[in-house]
Structure 1
Amino acid sequence: MIIPPPPEIIPAEKLGHVHFVGIGGAGLSGIARIMLARGMTVSGSDVKDSPTLTALRALGATVYVGHDPSHLDGVDTVVVSTAIKENNPEVVEARRRGLLLYSRASALSAVMDGRRVAAVSGAHGKTTTSSMLAVALQHCGADPSFAIGGNFNDTGTNAHDGTGDIFVVEADESDRAFLQYSPEVAVITNVDPDHLDMYESREDYHRAFDAFADRIVPGGVLVACIDDPGARRVAEAARARGIDVRTYGESPEADVRVDNVQLHPLSSTFDLVVDGRRVGSVDVHVAGRHYTLNAAAAFTAGLGLGFPSAQLREGLSSYTGTRRRFEYKGSAGDIRVYDDYGHHPTEMVATLRAARSAAGDGRVVVCFRPLRHTRTKFFHKELGEALGLADEVVVMDPTGDDPIPGVTGALIVPHIPLPAERIVYERSWSAAPVRVAERVRPGDLVLTLGAPDVALIGPEVLELVGGRDDADAGAGDNDQDIRG
């Protein structure tokens, strides 16, 4: 559900009692945390209970499981998740009562009012880059507020109301939300068309990033990855319009250049060269070449905010990651399990390359749950091609939006460039962990990939492989699996 921005954003503290419809989501839960920290009255509802709802209750929110018009008694402002439908009973009641309706973006704008905003956008890497920037700024002695799309590994939270004047926000383009922000520093990690159900065309998607660059306040700076053709095009056009632009990447043309990259199983080391001068190295404790670019983006944004190079680099080296970004989930014997949110083909390729590096001499066994039927419809070929980087693949059906007739995981299977016996399409949720476990053998790395609920399969796989004799490992290698 798309709610247009109000003619004027009211500062958060003047919104009264705020009720969140879909409060358990990554975006709304973070805003609710910040409002609670400011002493505001917060309530919310979601379709099912979760650890996120438990945490919000502990912070003082009134949280309901299920949606009901009575939940709006005493409410002044209603914030609605994009995933909520027009006929939601609380939305219908809010309109009937004439309550102020805010989208996630408008609510974020309200809590960011009066702050120096650093907004991180891009098709991929937003969560990691924005969380890296927040950690780096904290190391510099700042106490920035932040709202990101994933929980920090060390704190388990996705938002913080800081005492400083900087607000780091993950600027989501999926529903054009990022076009409501006015950042001092704007980051574009890449421009790789996605969410084509929300945009008229790939060209329309690209134009939205041009409009985002134009939202930068006077005197601000655009930070863009010169290695990505889409981000580079936006940067060049922005510079031609008089916007201050700083580029980063491995290209010799980058203002902040990533050099001498060394990839390790669980970390990456690289040097930073700023305007032709080597300033030092960074050791980030997350695996994968793409994370070196995320760190460079955070570093460049930190420079744009006026912080010193040495402290920013030290801060990045202390970063420990966010949940569901190649997150280690545990091991059983010689089998390790990781989980990752990657759901777009480009993200999946980057994650699978990192998994391949971390696996060493072992194989990579993937359980993939597509996120959104619409994405599966538009990108099933590319999703399959990305999964070809694994050794064994279990494909599940998509989730996360309304079903589309004929759009299932079976669309992806024919495009996976692996032998048929290395692929299984599993329709049953309860059977998926079994199908993964029967395919793994000692030394393998298991990766659960895609939609949020696929993360639940990893612990079940560990339990299954932990209770068997190693002689049973790999029993699925001879299965006659279906490819559609």
Structure 2
Amino acid sequence: MPDVLLPADQLGRVHFVGIGGAGLSAIARIMAARGMPVTGSDDHDTPFLPGLRELGVPCHLEYAADHLGAADSVVVTTAAREDNPEVVEARRRGLRLLPRSAGLWSVMAGSRVVAVAGTHGKTTTTSLLTSALVAAGADPTYAVGGMLTATGRNADAGAGDLFVAEADESDGAFLVYRPYAAVVTNVAADHLDVWGTEAAYRAAFDDFAASVDPDGFLVCCIDDPGARALAESSRAAGRRVVTVGEAGDADVRATDISFVGSTSTFTVRRDGADGTTVRLRIPGRHYVVDALAALVMGLELGHDVEGLVSGLESFSGSGRRMEAKGEAGGVRVYDSYAHHPREIEADLEAARAVAGSGRLLVVFQPHLVSRTRVFGPDMGRALGAADEVVVLDVYVAREEGDPAVTRALVVDAVPLPGTHVHLPGSLDEAAEVVAGLAGPGDLVLTLGAGDVTTVGPAVLAVLGGARG
């Protein structure tokens, strides 16, 4: 992190190393939309790049020193290695090097920032809040860690004073934003490769809460013990906190929750009185609480309930968050980014409701060696809610492999009998296995933060070819 953070209009020409990622592509999109000169590189194409190219942003599909061109500042993904040729060249030339957090701060500067933090649910809650605010007449700038289905984009440069941002804790980025207001969905140990201990991870959320503007406020989802503890300590420190959830002592409660197919309905109860009923187009109890948090944030910001609810009810999802990929041969296929045990549990509960009388078939790819080392057995236990489980090899990503950390840590913990486990050798084989197991009425759910997302379309292709 540089000693001095500069607003975007003082960064000159900006080059992005890893521009295809969800975080950097959002920052690049906002800069480009504001007329800044932006370029970028990545080692593979991603769904975020076509939209950037439409804005005129050159996006190279390899890393090379000459891609920096006349850049003054370079924003670097956390996944970049020190020997990345563009990073090496930027250092050699003495260019301004910025981590993702500094890049996002630069485009936030001068805005009233609303940050959405938490171990899980950040992307969905940020997306729901953005949709609600737009419907209520606001024109926020937003940066989300996934595509909004309604817009096909993960960021936009609005004309209003609000900036809605997904605040990622994985590398400590959320500690520099200093928002006016914030949502905390939950606080459960994760990213221990960075934070080291659960205590340090939780302390980071304490620091985040303390960074909120003294004139602002927190919205905390107190069904989660970690977020409840944060709400209590924040109130004790004199900060304004609004609590939400199903809990009987929440300031604003979700009651009369019901699920029908892929919809979720709940009633908002505040100050002991029932209020608006909200009908979401996304399934799952955890999404109900996310939507409640978004609604309360919008209300606390001064927007009318009718507009906010309209935005929530029109929300059709965000990429890789229980995203419907299609149907073939009577088999429905969904995809989710879930990679932590609690996320897996929540999405399997939602998938069960959608599957109805059909079976639930899950393809799971453990993500990161460090996470699998700590949470592998818990992942396996959570997968026991499925009828058939296909477990892929660990997606290594930014770490070095460890022969002691394999999918066996997950597989050995899957409850048996009851759940059948399959171990394909490749993504293509996984698709073939699932297509062979699935029948009309069944639901296939692919889970993980790696390239498991390619399995769903492959399953649909096999089923479509086999059954027309």
> TM-score category by the smaller chain?
over 0.9
- Offset of 1:100 from its aligned partner? 0.6
- The answer for the alignment partner of 1:29 in structure 2 is 25
* Contact kept in structure 1, 2:331 and 2:444, CA below 8 Å: yes
CA distance in 1, matches of 2:230, 2:121: 17
3-state secondary structure, aligned to 2:80? coil
- The answer for the alignment partner of 1:302 in structure 2 is 298
- The answer for the alignment partner of 1:77 in structure 2 is 73
- Offset of 1:7 from its aligned partner? 2.3
Q: TM-score, normalised by structure 2?
A: 0.97
Higher alpha-carbon deviation: 368-377 or 98-107: 368-377
Map 1:115-264; keep pairs closer than 5 Å.
115-264=111-260
The change in CA–CA distance for 1:469 and 1:140 in structure 2 (over 3 A counts) is closer
Superimposed CA distance per residue, residues 295-314 of structure 1 (whole angstroms, 9 cap, x where no aligned partner): 01101111221212232222
* Contact kept in structure 1, 2:74 and 2:97, CA below 8 Å: yes
The change in CA–CA distance for 1:62 and 1:469 in structure 2 (over 3 A counts) is closer
> What is the RMSD of the two structures over their aligned residues, measured on CA atoms?
1.4
Superimposed CA distance per residue, residues 107-153 of structure 1 (whole angstroms, 9 cap, x where no aligned partner): 11110011111100000000010111111111111100000100011
Give 1:366's aligned amino acid: V
CA distance in 1, matches of 2:449, 2:184: 24
* Contact kept in structure 1, 2:48 and 2:153, CA below 8 Å: no
- The answer for the alignment partner of 1:444 in structure 2 is 442
- Offset of 1:404 from its aligned partner? 2.1
- Offset of 1:11 from its aligned partner? 0.9
* Contact kept in structure 1, 2:185 and 2:227, CA below 8 Å: yes
Map 1:58-69; keep pairs closer than 5 Å.
58-69=54-65
- Offset of 1:461 from its aligned partner? 1.1
CA distance in 2, matches of 1:161, 1:195: 30
1:368 aligns with 2:354: no
CA distance in 2, matches of 1:340, 1:265: 17
3-state secondary structure, aligned to 2:148? coil
CA distance in 2, matches of 1:304, 1:263: 27
3-state secondary structure, aligned to 1:337? strand
Higher alpha-carbon deviation: 424-433 or 131-140: 424-433
Give 2:132's aligned amino acid: A
Map 1:286-297; keep pairs closer than 5 Å.
286-297=282-293
Give 2:302's aligned amino acid: G
Give 2:242's aligned amino acid: R
- Offset of 1:29 from its aligned partner? 0.3
- The answer for the alignment partner of 2:273 in structure 1 is 277
Higher alpha-carbon deviation: 32-41 or 65-74: 65-74
In structure 1, the gaps of 5 or more residues are 471-484
CA distance in 1, matches of 2:81, 2:248: 48
1:378 aligns with 2:374: yes
* Contact kept in structure 1, 2:150 and 2:315, CA below 8 Å: no
In structure 2, the gaps of 5 or more residues are none
- The answer for the alignment partner of 1:12 in structure 2 is 8
- The answer for the alignment partner of 1:463 in structure 2 is 461
CA distance in 1, matches of 2:57, 2:273: 50
Identity %: 52
The change in CA–CA distance for 1:221 and 1:54 in structure 2 (over 3 A counts) is same
3-state secondary structure, aligned to 2:151? coil
3-state secondary structure, aligned to 1:467? helix
3-state secondary structure, aligned to 1:248? strand
- Offset of 1:421 from its aligned partner? 7.7
Map 1:77-96; keep pairs closer than 5 Å.
77-96=73-92
- The answer for the alignment partner of 2:385 in structure 1 is 389
* Contact kept in structure 1, 2:220 and 2:231, CA below 8 Å: yes
The change in CA–CA distance for 1:421 and 1:200 in structure 2 (over 3 A counts) is closer
- The answer for the alignment partner of 1:480 in structure 2 is none
- The answer for the alignment partner of 1:401 in structure 2 is 398
* Contact kept in structure 2, 1:373 and 1:401, CA below 8 Å: no
CA distance in 2, matches of 1:446, 1:261: 25
How many residues end up aligned between the 2 structures?
A: 466
Higher alpha-carbon deviation: 49-58 or 246-255: 49-58
CA distance in 2, matches of 1:219, 1:275: 23
CA distance in 2, matches of 1:425, 1:203: 35
Map 1:278-357; keep pairs closer than 5 Å.
278-357=274-353
3-state secondary structure, aligned to 2:243? strand
- Offset of 1:373 from its aligned partner? 1.8
CA distance in 2, matches of 1:219, 1:49: 43
Higher alpha-carbon deviation: 9-18 or 48-57: 48-57
Superimposed CA distance per residue, residues 76-105 of structure 1 (whole angstroms, 9 cap, x where no aligned partner): 000001111122111111111111111111
- The answer for the alignment partner of 1:426 in structure 2 is 424
Higher alpha-carbon deviation: 366-375 or 19-28: 366-375
- Offset of 1:184 from its aligned partner? 1.1
Match of 1:417 among 396, 415, 418: 415
- Offset of 1:468 from its aligned partner? 3.1
CA distance in 2, matches of 1:50, 1:195: 24
- Offset of 1:469 from its aligned partner? 5.9
- Offset of 1:73 from its aligned partner? 2.4
- Offset of 1:462 from its aligned partner? 1.6
- Offset of 1:457 from its aligned partner? 1.0
The change in CA–CA distance for 1:96 and 1:295 in structure 2 (over 3 A counts) is same
Superimposed CA distance per residue, residues 402-456 of structure 1 (whole angstroms, 9 cap, x where no aligned partner): 3222322222111001338811122223211111112112211011111242121
CA distance in 1, matches of 2:348, 2:287: 13
CA distance in 2, matches of 1:440, 1:97: 56
Superimposed CA distance per residue, residues 256-293 of structure 1 (whole angstroms, 9 cap, x where no aligned partner): 11111011111100000122222211111100011100
CA distance in 2, matches of 1:349, 1:169: 26
3-state secondary structure, aligned to 1:415? coil
CA distance in 2, matches of 1:22, 1:240: 41
- The answer for the alignment partner of 1:482 in structure 2 is none
* Contact kept in structure 2, 1:135 and 1:315, CA below 8 Å: yes
- Offset of 1:253 from its aligned partner? 0.7
